[in-house]
Chain A
């Protein structure tokens, strides 16, 4: 951990002289995730990511947009190695998180995933109580002290804007919550692990507008403390909450820039067509 910290500082200092042109918008940002020439194959025939280069800035919200099947989720899952679970898949190229190659031998997956949390598209609370759901991460990471856990649960639920709604029913089954509450519970569950990075794969796609609004609010508050990467199909949402946006297409990274630039004056014709809804 200490080493990582030092690496990061060094990286921030040297300010990446070799940053490719596309990432000029990131000048001055500290880079947390970086991929170089990343290729991902679900199988030898299914080439899902093609030579993807991307940089994710520190404590900013980065949105991935692109047509369905273009590989946004796949890329996201490369960041916490959830793709490892898919039998027959393999990866070429590098993924650096805070300067460290997370695919090299000796990486402890549990450590990585604790640091890089993930919120899934469909809320997936455990069939346990609300409290147990939130305490799950700390517990599997070895925290047994009851009061410490209580504190973590409360602060995480507060951060996820859920505390007020569930503080009286912490022992009720998480499955009794509404869909929106369940998704915020999943966020709280991720937060309880005190991650550095939170990956969100279309966290609001299954929710009604009010719940979506709440989630967006939560994300806005969270970006003060976390690096957030979010996949979304909702252009307005990307516009509202993200600082940077990456546009992907057919497994390739087409364009990366500040959200403002992408939405007002994209460099690529393809990006413009997608944003204006000419295809997608």
Chain B
């Protein structure tokens, strides 16, 4: 009091400094909270678009243009500036999305009043199509969009070029028993499917006016044609729909009696029937292979929409199975178009209603607004960011399709999905494949499982060691020893995890594989020899035993370890010979079907343990040493042995800290990246078996984020993974402080 009066200046200074310090600390505290929230928000912001549903927006509607001819086929350029329409008279009209009247026009070389009956696109990368006419000709042509940079800016100039004109084999050549009446009709192409592969080889499948099914394979390299009549496989029923896979290797044909047939066209010289099955919701009225050439979208006369793909049977045959069914149409499905970017496909029914579906997830994403006139044809924009629909009056509507992440539904991320080529629904993580047509498999379950598996093995290894060490150092070790051990363990914590991962992956895992049996023998032998040693120690006369300074008994473990090491090294081989017929890995595989991976969970558990042990040790050692001496003294003075004191007094009193230590270790193991990255094979499998690896969330992010296109689905799913990790550690930490607090309240009020 007196001082403040005599030295007011000094006092004010103190107050001011105090205030500033308080502000700084408050600022720092809020800063940390703010940055954590910011990280959380950023992660959420990056991953939130995954949850967005597909949305369409009508960009413009082009009024009906002249001419009574029916529209058959349509397409649009990648910039969505020019689109075209092919009608049954062979007119190809080009329109500008910005303008109001036709831009230009081209004509397919048709003769007289020859009419196009069927048209089909045949390439994923260009606007190549084939058109079959009522006089039995098939014209292959391509629409090109050329970019022209003039002073007025960029312009897209469309053009049409005819590639090939040929005539189908004359009717009557096909085996047909009652062809009497149809013989009088000219040859014509009733149905047509077409595809050109990357070598330029072309595949045509068509049905002629007699109902005969044909395939023509044109080998571009050898410049040879192969013609395959397929009617002998068909039976009585007529073909209702056809589709050829995008690379021309497969043909699927639907018959009016509901029978579906799958032909293999891989060998250009023949076409072989591979599978035959029937569908139940009425005969297929439209078919389309989807991107990836595995799945076939089937639309039926009853309006059902299904996806089927071949699945390997136990007898090693590929059989088509129904995988998904989608929201039905109220009328027969007339057309199916597929995206060339992803597993989207568009179904259009006879009444003109259109729907957009995503094959992998089995989800119907969009129902298009019902037009005034029925839709005749549709097309995906090349980047799958737009859909063009044309009605019978040649009225166009262009929709912008906003569906950047169709493959990431909650079910796909966290549930089992039946992917193409898999025998059943599974949790699979396989984000990228060999080609753009790869079906990405983004189940987070294998990653979460991997993280938990790694953590589990790490904790199994490190918790006992770290806790026992902490108990020893804090309660039993002589000061001279603990003075060395503590800083050593702290140095261990400073060891970069890259180094640990490197050593584990490149040095330790082959070593472990080499001495696998010896390691196991060691793990069994060590406690046995230890117990034997203790028994022997008991037999030593007390007068000798007393000479050992308390706390130094631990040195006794050194000869035990040495003996166990020596014994297990020499016993490894005999044990392997005796129990496992000389080769443990072989035995493991033949008896349990377990494959041994060099970089397996044992190794990771061991290596991760190195990262986790220092944390658990340091924190729990602190907690144990902070148990007041008065409590230990009280216990000892009551005649409790040192171990009883530790067990009944010290550990309960330190339980809060020990719990927190384990949780911190858990958090570290969950978040650890480099070690799991380098010491596991990173195979995203779900298997508890310690002899194979796993892929942890953290390692997966590290491996895949550099490859993931910014803003793409994988990119966002990786952010979601990061968010999950964040939430996971957040929950762990909160849990640890909550439980720790309760334990402290209960046991540690001293």
The answer to whether residues A110 and B640 also contact, given A87-B479, A105-B542 and a CB cut-off of 8 A, is yes
Q: Please report the C-alpha to C-alpha distance between residue A110 and residue B630 in the assembled complex, in whole angstroms.
A: 17
- Per DSSP, are chain B's interface residues mostly helix, strand or loop, or mixed? helix
Q: Is B581 part of the binding interface, using a Cβ–Cβ cutoff of 8 Å?
A: no
Q: Is A203 part of the binding interface, using a Cβ–Cβ cutoff of 8 Å?
A: no
The answer to whether residues A122 and B750 also contact, given A85-B636, A110-B641, A117-B638 and a CB cut-off of 8 A, is no
Q: Would you call A140 and B639 a contact (CB within 8 A)?
A: yes
Q: Would you call B638 and A105 a contact (CB within 8 A)?
A: no
Q: Mark A82-101, 1 if CB is under 8 A from B, else 0.
A: 10010100000000000000
Across the interface, B640 reaches (CB within 8 A) one of A85, A127, A140, A186, namely A140
Q: Please report the C-alpha to C-alpha distance between residue A113 and residue B639 in the assembled complex, in whole angstroms.
A: 5
Interface centre among A82, A120, A136 (most CB of B within 10 A): A136
Closest residue on chain B to residue A125 by CB atoms: B634
Q: Mark A166-182, 1 if CB is under 8 A from B, else 0.
A: 00000001010000000
The answer to whether residues A82 and B637 also contact, given A126-B649, A127-B750 and a CB cut-off of 8 A, is yes
Residues of A within 8 A of B649 (CB): 126
Q: Is A137 part of the binding interface, using a Cβ–Cβ cutoff of 8 Å?
A: yes
Q: Is A190 part of the binding interface, using a Cβ–Cβ cutoff of 8 Å?
A: yes
Residues of B within 8 A of A173 (CB): 746, 749
Q: Mark A189-208, 1 if CB is under 8 A from B, else 0.
A: 11001000000000000000
Interface residues in B320-377 by Cβ distance below 8 A to A read: none
Q: Please report the C-alpha to C-alpha distance between residue A11 and residue B606 in the assembled complex, in whole angstroms.
A: 63
Q: Would you call B638 and A189 a contact (CB within 8 A)?
A: yes
Q: Would you call A106 and B633 a contact (CB within 8 A)?
A: no
Chain B interface residue count: which class? 20 to 34
Q: Would you call A126 and B641 a contact (CB within 8 A)?
A: no
Shortest C-beta distance, B575 to chain A (Å), equals 41
Residues of B within 8 A of A9 (CB): none
Closest residue on chain B to residue A174 by CB atoms: B749
Q: Would you call A106 and B637 a contact (CB within 8 A)?
A: no
Residues of A within 8 A of B652 (CB): 127-128
Q: Please report the C-alpha to C-alpha distance between residue A109 and residue B639 in the assembled complex, in whole angstroms.
A: 7
Q: Would you call B748 and A136 a contact (CB within 8 A)?
A: no
The answer to whether residues A120 and B634 also contact, given A105-B542, A140-B639 and a CB cut-off of 8 A, is yes
Q: Is A74 part of the binding interface, using a Cβ–Cβ cutoff of 8 Å?
A: no
Closest residue on chain B to residue A88 by CB atoms: B479
Q: Would you call A175 and B749 a contact (CB within 8 A)?
A: yes
Q: Mark A117-157, 1 if CB is under 8 A from B, else 0.
A: 11010101111100000001101110000000000000000
Across the interface, A126 reaches (CB within 8 A) one of B546, B631, B637, B644, namely B631
Residues of B within 8 A of A35 (CB): none
Q: Would you call A118 and B749 a contact (CB within 8 A)?
A: no
Q: Is A55 part of the binding interface, using a Cβ–Cβ cutoff of 8 Å?
A: no
Interface centre among A80, A110, A140 (most CB of B within 10 A): A140
Interface residues in B695-750 by Cβ distance below 8 A to A read: 746-750
Across the interface, A87 reaches (CB within 8 A) one of B478, B546, B631, B648, namely B478
Residues of B within 8 A of A140 (CB): 635, 638-641, 644, 648
Q: Would you call B636 and A190 a contact (CB within 8 A)?
A: no
Q: Would you call A186 and B639 a contact (CB within 8 A)?
A: no
Q: Would you call A106 and B546 a contact (CB within 8 A)?
A: yes
Q: Would you call A113 and B749 a contact (CB within 8 A)?
A: no
**Count of chain A residues with Cβ under 8 Å from any Cβ of B?**
32
Residues of B within 8 A of A109 (CB): 636, 641
Q: Please report the C-alpha to C-alpha distance between residue A189 and residue B638 in the assembled complex, in whole angstroms.
A: 8
Q: Please report the C-alpha to C-alpha distance between residue A141 and residue B636 in the assembled complex, in whole angstroms.
A: 12
Q: Would you call A120 and B543 a contact (CB within 8 A)?
A: no
Shortest C-beta distance, B195 to chain A (Å), equals 79
Q: Would you call B639 and A114 a contact (CB within 8 A)?
A: yes
Across the interface, B746 reaches (CB within 8 A) one of A80, A113, A127, A190, namely A127
Q: Please report the C-alpha to C-alpha distance between residue A136 and residue B749 in the assembled complex, in whole angstroms.
A: 18
Q: Is A111 part of the binding interface, using a Cβ–Cβ cutoff of 8 Å?
A: yes
The answer to whether residues A113 and B633 also contact, given A106-B546, A127-B749 and a CB cut-off of 8 A, is no
Q: Is B304 part of the binding interface, using a Cβ–Cβ cutoff of 8 Å?
A: no
Closest residue on chain A to residue B547 by CB atoms: A105
Across the interface, B633 reaches (CB within 8 A) one of A82, A114, A190, namely A82
Residues of A within 8 A of B526 (CB): none
Residues of A within 8 A of B628 (CB): 124
Q: Is B653 part of the binding interface, using a Cβ–Cβ cutoff of 8 Å?
A: yes
Interface residues in B623-667 by Cβ distance below 8 A to A read: 628, 630-631, 633-641, 644, 648-649, 652-653
Residues of A within 8 A of B641 (CB): 109-110, 140
Q: Please report the C-alpha to C-alpha distance between residue A255 and residue B593 in the assembled complex, in whole angstroms.
A: 85
Q: Please report the C-alpha to C-alpha distance between residue A111 and residue B543 in the assembled complex, in whole angstroms.
A: 18
Across the interface, A141 reaches (CB within 8 A) one of B542, B639, B750, namely B639
The answer to whether residues A120 and B648 also contact, given A82-B636, A136-B635 and a CB cut-off of 8 A, is no
Interface residues in B286-301 by Cβ distance below 8 A to A read: none
Residues of B within 8 A of A111 (CB): 639
Q: Would you call A127 and B638 a contact (CB within 8 A)?
A: no
Closest residue on chain B to residue A199 by CB atoms: B637
Q: Would you call A120 and B633 a contact (CB within 8 A)?
A: yes
Q: Would you call B639 and A127 a contact (CB within 8 A)?
A: no
Q: Would you call A127 and B637 a contact (CB within 8 A)?
A: no
Q: Would you call B638 and A137 a contact (CB within 8 A)?
A: yes
Q: Please report the C-alpha to C-alpha distance between residue A118 and residue B635 in the assembled complex, in whole angstroms.
A: 10
Across the interface, B543 reaches (CB within 8 A) one of A80, A106, A110, namely A106
Q: Would you call A113 and B546 a contact (CB within 8 A)?
A: no
Residues of A within 8 A of B750 (CB): 127, 175
Closest residue on chain B to residue A119 by CB atoms: B637
The answer to whether residues A127 and B747 also contact, given A113-B639, A140-B640 and a CB cut-off of 8 A, is yes
Q: Please report the C-alpha to C-alpha distance between residue A139 and residue B644 in the assembled complex, in whole angstroms.
A: 10
Shortest C-beta distance, B18 to chain A (Å), equals 34
Q: Would you call A117 and B637 a contact (CB within 8 A)?
A: yes
Residues of A within 8 A of B748 (CB): 127
Residues of A within 8 A of B639 (CB): 110-114, 137, 140-141, 193
Closest residue on chain B to residue A176 by CB atoms: B749
Residues of B within 8 A of A113 (CB): 636-639
Shortest C-beta distance, B588 to chain A (Å), equals 46
Q: Would you call A85 and B542 a contact (CB within 8 A)?
A: no
Interface centre among B640, B649, B748, B749 (most CB of A within 10 A): B640
Q: Would you call B634 and A186 a contact (CB within 8 A)?
A: yes
Residues of B within 8 A of A85 (CB): 633, 636
Please give me the 3 A-B residue pairs with the lowest Cβ-Cβ distance, nearest first: A114-B639, A124-B630, A140-B640
Beyond A114-B639, A127-B653, A128-B747, 9 additional pairs, beta carbon < 8 A: A87-B479, A105-B543, A113-B637, A124-B630, A124-B634, A126-B635, A137-B639, A141-B639, A173-B746
Q: Can you name 10 A-B residue pairings with CB atoms under 8 Å?
A: A80-B637, A87-B479, A124-B634, A126-B653, A127-B747, A127-B749, A136-B635, A137-B640, A140-B648, A173-B749
Q: A-contacting residues of B (Cβ < 8 Å)?
A: 478-479, 542-543, 546, 628, 630-631, 633-641, 644, 648-649, 652-653, 746-750
